[in-house]
């Protein structure tokens, strides 16, 4: 393919972005047109929506303050000469688009919860269609906005500033930090909100007052439903926006390092465009007969994701051959390794967490001897479940590196990065299957609260349980791609350090001076990052500890926030007369407000710690320390995230397995023990675990942005 043709290819990126966004609009219109059900349902849906919007408003205004402060800091640093002047702006847009993706997804989800419940009163398939399409809006908005942000900056830098491809990719790498910061706040804040409401509602409602889940008499019930939207939808949207954009910009930066120039940069971008098309086509396969059963529905969803993967697997081959040249077709091996690796990790996640397989059934069996054995066995399953995903990622790394690079270091790293892009290329549809879960969950709540009848509730439960399976697969993708992206970002970081050092040395030499030795080392930093170097070791140790510290903070935050909900719900039960008899209405808004405030307050410390850790370590222990920190936090973060997500999922489904009538069913001692496991698992799988995905990338992003500053100002060089 000629150079001109490659440049021309770029225009597919804004086109793909618009295609995704317009198709999302089309699906949104479809969802909006559905009936929202009875007045009662509309009322509840409106309350949930109102609470969610109120939360996001507060969260975004809090985060806006953070972004203003960071903007000022970055501007100062850029005026000190450590950053290009455009970076602070790139930082802002990254955060803005990431937040926007979450916002749109959440608006759609809150619109479709009542509509899904109403559609489910007709048939299971109708319910699925509404919920899935609302999930697809989120999926397409995330990829559409991601491509839009990339396209805008690419065009501005190239055509308005006339920047070289090196400068373009370096700048784009910086805006990842904005997206990551936003994602971390959204995930942590949303995660604290949703689990505080969930745990708080359960502890008083189910355990103390003995009323069922989603009972309208429970004052925290609306907050619980709001939580699904702000945590599992808005939080996840921001999270995966960040993964998606992060993997593309990291690959682009490594493309330049590997000497592939614009051609190498185009590959991840065009793969993303193909991904948009493949996802849209995939959504067409998600249909089923009106009277379909749950199994058929799962098959329908699977058909959608598998066909998308196949399209990408087929189209990437000629794309890479034509753009990079057929002599570099080995890069295709990296794409396949990523695609297949993602699928396998998803299946493994399902195996360890689904009630239809041994591991989770064993956890359910230990419930017979009480809560202690449930906790021990759940933690064991979580720990055990790290083994195979780690091996899969290792094999993907090995294949990607050698297939793409044949031993060439930079080409190999490009291969690892592109495998993350391959894994995430089907994001449009995998995110759709993932985001539909909370919608179904909400629909169930609305069906219960508005008294739609047992059959409808059974259908929404079926949809919800289907959502748990797809969510498990989605989580596998999220964490697998996070690990690969983080590794690519570490490579981008060391690459950037080398470039900065070379630049600084040239300046010193030009001014007639001699460059100090540490600058000479930094130029070839890779050669000095050996794991027996004490600075690297210290970084590794601190990095390895960081995910534990982070999880401790987020879990304690959930605990504290849940405690305040417990107190409030108890108060309302006591003070509002006639509440338990259904004669008086609880004060839902107060619970929502308490969760909002608590999440707002509690998200600050963990998020800020994650952001400043690499800078502090860098200023004290130098660039080598930072590199060690990134490697350490990626390794521990990845393993811990898999462990927490799977332990949490396994406890959740062990409880469901017992509820299906095993070991005495609902209300038995075994069930009570399993509920303890499920409650412990809540912050594991929905707050701390998924936040780690972002943590490991954010630390890299921050390090990239502050690389030059750290390089010059470190205490130990």
Q: How far is the CB of 109 from a second copy (least distance, A)?
A: 28
Contact 235, 386 (CB under 8 A): no
Nearer to a second copy, 225 or 366 (CB): 366
Q: Which residue has the tokens 């373009």?
A: 168
Q: How far is CA 217 from the centre of its chain?
A: 33
Distance CA 113, CA 447 (A): 10
Q: Which residue has the tokens 């094999």?
A: 395
Backbone angles phi, psi at 586, to 5 degrees: -75, 165
Nearer to a second copy, 218 or 433 (CB): 218
Nearer to a second copy, 58 or 717 (CB): 717
Nearer to a second copy, 432 or 562 (CB): 562
Q: How far is the CB of 211 from a second copy (least distance, A)?
A: 17
Angle CA(376)–CA(377)–CA(382) in degrees, nearest 5? 100
Contact 74, 93 (CB under 8 A): no
Distance CA 668, CA 397 (A): 47
Label residue 160 exposed, middle or buried (CB < 10 Å: 0-12, 13-18, 19+). Answer: exposed
Nearer to a second copy, 147 or 488 (CB): 488
Nearer to a second copy, 541 or 589 (CB): 541
Q: How far is the CB of 549 from a second copy (least distance, A)?
A: 5
Q: How far is the CB of 383 from a second copy (least distance, A)?
A: 4
Distance CA 531, CA 539 (A): 10
Nearer to a second copy, 304 or 389 (CB): 389
Nearer to a second copy, 429 or 603 (CB): 603
Return the closest-CA partner of residue 485 out of 35, 183, 225.
183
Contact 185, 607 (CB under 8 A): yes
Length of the chain: 717
Query: Per-residue DSSP letters for 229-284?
Result: IIIIIIIHHHHHHHHHHHHHHHHHHHHHHTT-HHHHHHHHHHHHHHHHHHHHHHHH
Q: How far is the CB of 442 from a second copy (least distance, A)?
A: 24
Nearer to a second copy, 298 or 605 (CB): 605
Query: Per-residue DSSP letters for 270-339?
Result: HHHHHHHHHHHHHHHH----TT--HHHHHHHHHHHHHHHHHHHHHHHHHHHHHHH-GGGTHHHHHHHHHH
Nearer to a second copy, 148 or 334 (CB): 334
CB-CB neighbours of 248 under 10 Å = 29
Q: How far is the CB of 366 from a second copy (least distance, A)?
A: 7
Nearer to a second copy, 12 or 340 (CB): 340
Q: How far is the CB of 630 from a second copy (least distance, A)?
A: 8
Nearer to a second copy, 124 or 393 (CB): 393
Q: How far is the CB of 388 from a second copy (least distance, A)?
A: 10
Structure tokens at 102: 């979450």
Long-range contacts of the stretch 76-79 (C-beta < 8 A, 24+): 77/706, 77/709
Q: How far is the CB of 188 from a second copy (least distance, A)?
A: 15
Nearer to a second copy, 310 or 537 (CB): 537
Q: How far is the CB of 638 from a second copy (least distance, A)?
A: 7
Q: Which residue has the tokens 């479809």?
A: 30
Q: How far is the CB of 527 from a second copy (least distance, A)?
A: 6
Q: Which residues, including other chains, have CB under 8 Å from residue 277's CB and lie 6 or more apart?
A: 16, 19, 311
Q: How far is the CB of 35 from a second copy (least distance, A)?
A: 40
Which ranges in 576-668 belong to alpha helices (H)? 588-602, 604-659
Nearer to a second copy, 133 or 672 (CB): 672
Contact 673, 367 (CB under 8 A): yes
DSSP designation for 583: S
Distance CA 617, CA 158 (A): 35
Buried b (16+ CB within 10 A) or exposed e, 75-97: bebbeeebbbebbbbbbbbbbbb
Distance CA 179, CA 240 (A): 10
Label residue 297 exposed, middle or buried (CB < 10 Å: 0-12, 13-18, 19+). Answer: buried
Cα radius of gyration rounded to whole Å, the chain: 25
Distance CA 585, CA 216 (A): 8
Q: How far is the CB of 480 from a second copy (least distance, A)?
A: 12
Structure tokens at 696: 């490991």
Q: How far is the CB of 244 from a second copy (least distance, A)?
A: 22
Q: How far is the CB of 686 from a second copy (least distance, A)?
A: 13
Return the closest-CA partner of residue 381 out of 356, 349, 429.
349
Distance CA 498, CA 530 (A): 16
Nearer to a second copy, 412 or 474 (CB): 412
Q: How far is the CB of 397 from a second copy (least distance, A)?
A: 5
Nearer to a second copy, 372 or 612 (CB): 372
């Amino acid at each position: 393919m000629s150079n001109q043709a490659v440049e021309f290819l770029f225009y597919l990126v804004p086109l793909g972005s618009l295609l995704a966004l317009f198709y999302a609009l089309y699906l949104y219109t479809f969802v909006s047109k559905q009936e929202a059900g009875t007045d009662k349902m509309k009322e509840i849906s409106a309350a949930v929506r109102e609470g969610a919007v109120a939360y996001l408003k507060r969260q975004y205004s809090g985060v806006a303050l953070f972004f203003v402060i960071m903007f000022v800091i970055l501007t100062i640093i850029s005026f000190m000469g450590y950053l290009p002047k455009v970076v602070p702006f790139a930082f802002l847009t990254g955060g803005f688009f990431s937040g926007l993706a979450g916002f749109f997804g959440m608006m759609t989800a809150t619109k479709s919860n009542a509509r899904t419940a109403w559609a489910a009163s007709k048939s299971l398939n109708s319910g699925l269609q509404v919920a899935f399409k609302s999930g697809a809006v989120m999926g397409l908005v995330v990829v559409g906005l991601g491509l839009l942000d990339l396209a805008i900056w690419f065009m501005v830098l190239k055509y308005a500033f006339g920047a070289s491809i090196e400068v373009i990719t370096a700048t784009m790498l910086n805006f990842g930090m904005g997206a990551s910061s936003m994602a971390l706040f959204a995930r942590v804040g949303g995660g604290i909100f949703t689990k505080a409401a969930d745990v708080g509602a359960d502890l008083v409602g189910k355990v103390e007052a003995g009323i069922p889940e989603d009972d309208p008499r429970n004052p925290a019930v609306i907050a619980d439903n709001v939580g699904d939207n702000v945590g599992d939808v808005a939080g996840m949207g921001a999270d995966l926006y960040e993964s998606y954009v992060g993997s593309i910009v990291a690959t682009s930066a490594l493309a330049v390092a590997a000497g592939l120039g614009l051609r190498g940069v185009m590959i991840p971008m065009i793969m993303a465009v193909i991904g948009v098309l493949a996802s849209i086509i995939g959504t067409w396969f998600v249909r089923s007969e009106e009277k379909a059963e749950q199994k058929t529905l799962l098959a329908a969803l699977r058909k959608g994701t598998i066909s998308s993967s196949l399209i990408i697997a087929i189209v990437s081959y000629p794309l890479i051959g034509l753009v990079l040249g057929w002599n570099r077709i080995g890069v295709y091996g990296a794409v396949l390794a990523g695609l297949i690796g993602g699928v396998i990790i998803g299946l493994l996640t399902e195996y360890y967490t689904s009630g239809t397989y041994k591991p989770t059934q064993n956890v359910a069996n230990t419930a017979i001897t009480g809560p202690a054995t449930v906790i021990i066995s759940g933690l064991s399953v979580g720990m055990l479940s790290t083994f195979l995903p780690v091996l899969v990622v290792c094999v993907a790394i090995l294949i990607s590196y050698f297939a793409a690079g044949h031993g060439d270091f930079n080409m190999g790293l490009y291969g690892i990065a592109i495998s993350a892009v391959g894994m995430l290329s089907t994001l449009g549809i995998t995110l759709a299957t993932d985001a539909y879960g909370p919608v179904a969950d909400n629909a169930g709540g609305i069906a219960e609260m508005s008294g739609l009848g047992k059959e409808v509730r059974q259908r929404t439960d079926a949809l919800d349980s289907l959502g748990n399976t797809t969510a498990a697969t989605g989580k596998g993708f999220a964490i697998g791609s996070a690990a690969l992206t983080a590794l690519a970002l570490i490579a981008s970081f060391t690459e950037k350090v080398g470039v900065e050092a070379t630049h600084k040395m040239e300046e010193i030499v030009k001014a007639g001076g001699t460059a100090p030795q540490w600058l000479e080392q930094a130029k070839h930093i890779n050669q000095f990052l050996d794991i027996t170097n004490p600075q690297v070791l210290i970084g590794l140790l601190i990095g390895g500890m960081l995910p534990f510290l982070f999880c401790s903070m987020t879990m304690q935050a959930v605990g504290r926030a849940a405690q305040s909900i417990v107190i409030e719900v108890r108060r309302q039960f006591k003070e509002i007369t006639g509440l338990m008899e259904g004669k008086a209405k609880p004060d839902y808004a107060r619970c929502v407000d308490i969760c909002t405030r608590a999440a707002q307050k509690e998200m600050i410390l963990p998020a800020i710690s994650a952001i400043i850790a690499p800078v502090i370590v860098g200023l004290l222990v130098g660039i080598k320390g930072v590199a060690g920190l990134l490697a350490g936090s990626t390794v521990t973060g990845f393993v811990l995230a898999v462990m927490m997500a799977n332990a949490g999922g396994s406890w959740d489904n062990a409880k469901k397995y017992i509820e299906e009538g095993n070991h005495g069913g609902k209300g038995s001692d075994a069930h009570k023990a399993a509920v303890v496991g499920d409650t412990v698992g809540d912050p594991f799988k929905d707050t701390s675990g998924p936040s780690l995905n972002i943590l490991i990338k954010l630390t890299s992003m921050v390090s990239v942005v502050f690389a030059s500053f750290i390089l010059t100002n470190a205490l130990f060089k």
